[in-house]
Amino acid sequence: MSIEAGLRKTPFYDIHIKLGAKMVPFGGFIMPLQYRSII
């Protein structure tokens, strides 16, 4: 079972993944914590 099982995704989930975000569980959602680069 993955860490994302049972967590909701925001409408921007795919965009965050495409931009290289590190995703973490927060408040029942899978949310971006940081990106590979801020530039």
- What's the total number of domains in the chain? 1
Q: Residue 25: which of 1, 8, 11, 39 has the closest Cα?
A: 8
- The mean pLDDT of 2-31, rounded to a whole number, is 91
pLDDT band at residue 37 using 50, 70 and 90 as cut-offs: confident
Q: What is the domain extent for residue 29?
A: 1-39
pLDDT reported for residue 36: 83
Per-residue CA distances from 12 to 1, 18, 19 (Å)? 23, 10, 11
Residue 2 vs residue 28, higher pLDDT: 28
- The mean pLDDT of 12-39, rounded to a whole number, is 91
